Structure formats: structure tokens, C-alpha cells
Amino acid sequence: MSAAIAERFGAAMERVRTYDRPLLIIAAILFTLGILFSMSASPAATARIRIEEAFYFAGRQAAYAALGALVMMSAASLDPRQLRRGATITAAIFLPLCLLASFFGPEIKGAQRWFEFGLMSLQPSEILKPALIIVWAWMLGESMKQPGFPGRTVAIGAYLLTAAVLLSQPDIGQTALLGICLAPMLILSGVALRYVLGGGVLAALSAWAIYTFYPHARERVDNFLNPEGDAAYQVNRALDAIAAGGVFGRGPGEGVIKTRLPDAHADFVFAVAAEEFGLIASIGLIVVFGALAFRGLSRASRLNEPFEQLAAAGLVTLLVAQACIHIAVNLSLLPAKGMTLPFISFGGSSMIGSALALGCCLSLLRDRPGAYLYPGPRRD
């Protein structure tokens, strides 16, 4: 019995050695920063909603990070075939859950995106995103290997169906984010230029339609273009917090403006980090996501299989694009979207979805015989 356990443990450790070490280091940094920044934002958030335990959100974020690390390593242990099967099953489960949430979920700030389970909540779209990207990569990869296979049609159809479901909640930010991920995947799969241009025109028309028919979206865009009054309160406070942090920040726990910033622990956690840790820490966080983009995409570009290449590139794009949107909103470069910062913002669904995406990247990008077109530079 002990010999069998030792053998399995040895096999597991041998598999871990094939994971990309820089990506593992980046993951560890992001999990740690998520807990650290949550500790900074938690006292202000708990005071606003009158929770006696000052570090309530920090404690839960640490638990979510532990669960996220388990999810990440579990996903990393799968082979590409298991990833395809698991993603298909996950998408088939969580897409209907997104639709059910739009009808039966509690309404929060004008949207129905969640299921409440006592002290816990679930946002199905966060789990759906990485699964959907893997399914898209599977379909697009097959269309690259078999010219007659309708993979691109299936991928675009799946996106349109998902967009219709998400807009029923409504969740315009996630709809746009998934479109941002699908576009480069289609281009990498060799789609004709006329379809790329047509997609750009369709995206512009969709943005106009959303602005016209979704009052909530129109209000946010108008507030972004005219950032005055109570409607732009959150973004203005976020800018004040970032400015108050200066180069080195006020110090851990010394933030003042964060106490007047709604959703400081979630949608505006970057502003809290900037106030307490300063410009240097803010740039450092951006550098970490930049390193994730560079390492993930450079490794993905050398993969041999089209599916693995597209899936890894799409998952890295998902994490980095979401981080860019969150930071841009905090800097008032984009209209407010309620987009979390992967691994950093408070939230179990966001943490699990981000960990699932990075775990799948670790699986696809690990060293395997014949996986890469050429070995590339040494990693150590």
C-alpha cells in the first residue's frame, strides 16, 4: 500500500516538474498579492456594510485562494484530450446556468448574474469563460486541420448564443471580453481578412445597439464622457485614491479615500492598492500581468498542435484582457464595467474561474514529448 502511494506521489512530482516554472511563479505572486491587497481593502469594505470583523473579506479571500490553487493544479494535471472533454461538459452545464440566473437570480445593481447560497454566491459566467475558450480552440483547431470542417461557424455560433444569454442578465462587460478573446483566435486560425473586417463592423454596430437599447450601458458611457456629479462618484474616488498614493503609497492599512470608495475590495481594488502601496506597486502589478502575457503567448506560439496553440493563447488573452479592463476602469480610461481583477479582486467565482484558466494554461504549456515545434531557450 505504502509503495503504491509512494509511486503515485513520485509520478505526480515528476509531472509537476514538467510545468512551466515562470508561470508557476507568476501564479504564486498573483495569489499572494490577492490576499495582501484584500487585507488592505477589507477593513473599509466591512465598515461600509457594517460587518464587525475587520478582515472578514481577507479571510474569505485566503480561503478562495487556497481553493483556487487546488483547482489550478487539478486542471494542470489534465492532458489535452481531458481538457477538451471537461471544457465541453463544463460549458454545457454553466451556459444554461447563466440563463437560469438571468431569470431566477437575485437582482443586484440592476443585473441578475448570480445564485445565492446563504453566505456563498456563484456567478456561472466566470466558470463558463475558460471552458468556452477551450471549446472554441477545439473547433477552430479542427477547421485548420480539416478544411471542410465547420469549426469557425460552430465557434461563432457558440459566441452569439453565449452573448445572447449574457446580455439577458445583462452582462455587457463579459460579452465584450469574450469577443475580445474570440477575435484573435479566429485570426490565428486563418480566417479571411474580409471576415475580420466584417466582424469589426458588426462589433461597432453591436456597441451602437447596446448604447441605444440598454439604458444602464448608456448611462455609464455618458458618465464616462462627462465625469461630473454623483453618477461618476466611484470613478472619481478611485482617481483620488490613486493620486493620493503617490510614488510609495500611504502605507499598508493607512488608506483614507478607500473608506469612501464603494466596492473597494472588488471592482476598485487596484485603486486601493495604488493608494496604500503607491505607483511602484501599481506598476509592479501591471508588470506581473505583462509577464504572464509574454510568457504564455511566447510558449503558445511554439506549440505543435493548433488546438493547444489556440487554447493557450485564448486563455492568456482572457486573463490579461480582463486585467487591462479592470485597471483601465480604475484609471477612468474606460466606462465602469464592474470587471474584477483576476486573482486580486474579492470573489470566489472570479478566483475559481481565473485559477481554472491558468491551470489549463499550465496543462497546455507543460513540457511533453513532441509538444513544441522547437525547444526554445532554457527556462532556468
pLDDT digits (tens, 9 = 90+) for 202-250: 889 999 999 998 888 888 888 888 877 666 777 888 888 888 888 888 8
Of residues 332 and 11, which shows the higher confidence score? 332
User: What is the DSSP-derived secondary structure letter of residue 117?
Assistant: E
**Rounded to whole angstroms, how far apart are CA atoms 57 and 43?**
8
Least confident of 101-115, 190-204, 248-262: 248-262
User: What is the DSSP-derived secondary structure letter of residue 255?
Assistant: -
- Per the CB < 8 A criterion, the answer to whether 34 and 65 are in contact is yes
Cross-strand bridge partners of residue 303: 372
Of residues 40 and 279, which shows the higher confidence score? 279
Share of the chain above pLDDT 90, in %: 52
Residue 118 pLDDT exceeds 80: no
Cross-strand bridge partners of residue 108: 111
- pLDDT tens-digit series, residues 291-345: 999 999 999 999 999 999 999 999 999 999 999 999 999 998 888 877 899 999 9
Helices of type H across 301-365: 306-330, 348-365
